[in-house]
Amino acid sequence: MEAVSPAIRPALIWTQRTGHLDRVRLSFGSVTSPKSNRKRIRRKIELSARAEKNVSATATATQSIDYSDPDWKNKYQDEFEARFRIPHIADVLTDAVSYPSTFCLRMRTPESPDFLESYPSDDEWHGYVNTNDRVLLKVIHYSSPTSAGAECIDPGCTWVEQWVHRAGPRERIYFKPEEVKAAIVTCGGLCPGLNDVIRQIVITLEIYGVKKIVGIPFGYRGFSDRSLDEMPLSRKVVQNIHLSGGSLLGVSRGGPTVSEIVDSIQERGINMFFVLGGNGTHAGANAIHEECCKRRLKVAVVGVPKTIDNDILLMDKTFGFDTAVEEAQRAIYAAYIEAHSAYRGIGIVKLMGRSSGFIAMQASLASGQIDICLIPEVPFKLHGPQGVLNHLKYLLETKGSAVVCVAEGAGQDLLQKTNATDASGNTILGDIGVHIQLETKKFFKGIGFPADVKYIDPTYMIRACRANASDAILSTVFGQNAVHGAFAGYSGITVGLCNTHYVYVPIPEVIVQPRVIDPNSRMWHRCLTSTRQPDFI
């Protein structure tokens, strides 16, 4: 697997003194003595070195570029273009035949069942996307590696164009609709917008002329559990499912082996497979795509990125995220009212975010009521003069109350490791919210400083919500573009939103690692400006 693109890496800064790529984090907070500052800087370097292990392959790939070669930029662009070329069924089935598209918005019902001449039209329809259309992945030209959030490839921060494929309907398709059997599966946990995606996949498939559409119940598990039957899907079945949360098809983690899944796909006669899920689910979808290629099966495997945490690489955002941020406001407001109404009240809200703190950060910015935001990407200490608890004491003394927002994956180094994993292979996290609640109560009781601590965990209430307007639109377009991609003959791809445009991306490029917040980014700086919190290390 190729290294992660510099456009999607954590901020990597070229240090002239060492000639190496270092990860830099800015510090915020009160002025400290030189001695204390040196200790904190040393601590930051240690933490940065630890974090650098996660991107070592990236740094190695970047360092392998020979910048003395005058043609290095063109070579880099060629390598990037090769990596982001989207797989096509014609790569394996060289005799694959294309047909005129049966998708045309001038007429939404086929004139005849055999689709030989596409839809009739008085003139050419200009609603198709050209196969060579591209979307620019990186739009900021950083002039210096020291600029906030800078993503640089070389020491001079050279501008290098990086393009990905534009999504949408193509003029030529590689499947006859009457021969298609399409299947949809939803994996992992619940997320607002799942039903919206399912609904729109079904509706778009029917516009192409597909008659056989099924849902696989309860994730990949539905391929091996004989007690679970396929669910026939049609516009009539899915018409109103977007009005409620959850998934019509159900969700689960884990499942049978890749070989067993592909065996089942063959037995069922499925040749279009739509997979809704996060990083782990996409890794499974890519393995299914590769197994289908190995067996020379004409099956289009297309992913739709579903993660409420918004932690998929390359994506502006994934569906469910906006709803999560909006619903989190209710919990934050409740915590604020409880804290503000109590004598020396403290409200603690735990939000989702295993590896990435996007929900906690955006919810904190949106509410304007958060005093401390804790995320997985930024280490912190609870105890000590620079710790969270000491700052809470300061807030109670000066404001009379405080509200803390913490992502579920934050501060895991403060908790005892279980080494346990769930069915998807994810590490089972310790409950940082409860830990902070207990430590806060213990701290204030120990110093004889009365404090009223309230803890709110709205996780499952948020996951079960119906998608808001923003996520409903995103889910709808993702579902449409997934179908367009499958009919165009692409497989092993996922749909996404990059720089406000909808794109197709090879699955391997989005599953390298979770997308995380860069502590040197402008958005995190904005959050710190809003909360006015110091460093807690």
Check whether 60 has a pLDDT greater than 70: no
The pLDDT > 70 percentage for the chain reads: 84
Report, as an integer, the average pLDDT of 487-511.
96
Which pLDDT value is given to residue 21? 34
Which pLDDT value is given to residue 51? 39
Q: Is 309 a catalytic residue?
A: yes
Q: Is 278 known to sit in a ligand binding site?
A: yes
Q: Is 281 known to sit in a ligand binding site?
A: yes
Q: Is 323 known to sit in a ligand binding site?
A: no
Report whether 249 contacts 237 (CB < 8 A): no
Check whether 344 has a pLDDT greater than 90: yes
Q: Poorest-confidence range of 38-42, 246-250, 482-486?
A: 38-42
Report, as an integer, the average pLDDT of 431-460.
96
Which pLDDT value is given to residue 430? 87
pLDDT confidence band for 128 (50 / 70 / 90): very high
Q: Is 149 known to sit in a ligand binding site?
A: no
CA dist 7 to 340, 366, 402, 536, Å? 42, 27, 37, 29
Report, as an integer, the average pLDDT of 361-379.
97
Strands (E), 209-259: 212-216, 231-232
pLDDT confidence band for 29 (50 / 70 / 90): very low
Q: Is 253 known to sit in a ligand binding site?
A: yes
C-alpha–C-alpha distance, residues 189 and 112, integer Å? 41
For residue 161, the Cα-to-chain-centroid distance in whole angstroms is 23
Q: Is 308 known to sit in a ligand binding site?
A: yes
Q: Is 222 known to sit in a ligand binding site?
A: no
Average pLDDT, rounded, for the chain: 86
Which pLDDT value is given to residue 291? 97
Which pLDDT value is given to residue 113? 54
Nearest CA-CA partner of 331 in 309, 364, 375? 364
Report whether 361 contacts 353 (CB < 8 A): no
Report, as an integer, the average pLDDT of 189-208.
96
Nearest CA-CA partner of 4 in 537, 511, 525, 409? 511
Q: Is 254 known to sit in a ligand binding site?
A: yes
Check whether 197 has a pLDDT greater than 90: yes
Look at 340 and 6; give whichever has higher pLDDT: 340
Q: Which two tokens stand for residue 3?
A: 């290294």
Which pLDDT value is given to residue 536? 92
Catalytic residue among 309, 322, 471, 535: 309
The pLDDT > 90 percentage for the chain reads: 74
Check whether 10 has a pLDDT greater than 80: no
Nearest CA-CA partner of 194 in 184, 203, 181, 204? 184
Length of the chain as a residue count: 537
Q: Residue 348: left (phi > 0), alpha (psi -120 to 50), or beta? A: beta
Which pLDDT value is given to residue 18? 31
Which pLDDT value is given to residue 226? 85
Which pLDDT value is given to residue 31? 33
Look at 470 and 25; give whichever has higher pLDDT: 470
Check whether 511 has a pLDDT greater than 50: yes
Which pLDDT value is given to residue 155? 86
Q: CB count, 10 Å around CB of 294?
A: 11
Which pLDDT value is given to residue 5? 34
* pLDDT tens digits, 100-116: 999 987 655 554 555 54
* pLDDT tens digits, 213-244: 999 999 999 999 888 999 999 999 999 999 99
Of 10-24, 36-50, 59-73, 404-418, which has the strongest mean pLDDT? 404-418
C-alpha–C-alpha distance, residues 280 and 510, integer Å? 11
Q: Is 279 known to sit in a ligand binding site?
A: yes
Q: Is 255 known to sit in a ligand binding site?
A: no
Report, as an integer, the average pLDDT of 169-179.
95
Q: Is 493 known to sit in a ligand binding site?
A: no
C-alpha–C-alpha distance, residues 176 and 298, integer Å? 12
Check whether 11 has a pLDDT greater than 60: no
pLDDT confidence band for 15 (50 / 70 / 90): very low
C-alpha–C-alpha distance, residues 406 and 357, integer Å? 8
Report, as an integer, the average pLDDT of 110-126.
55
Nearest CA-CA partner of 88 in 78, 96, 80, 77? 96
pLDDT confidence band for 419 (50 / 70 / 90): confident
C-alpha–C-alpha distance, residues 346 and 440, integer Å? 9
Q: Is 189 known to sit in a ligand binding site?
A: yes
Q: Is 95 known to sit in a ligand binding site?
A: no
Q: Is 307 known to sit in a ligand binding site?
A: yes
Which pLDDT value is given to residue 68? 86
Q: Is 353 known to sit in a ligand binding site?
A: yes
C-alpha–C-alpha distance, residues 255 and 244, integer Å? 26
Look at 14 and 523; give whichever has higher pLDDT: 523
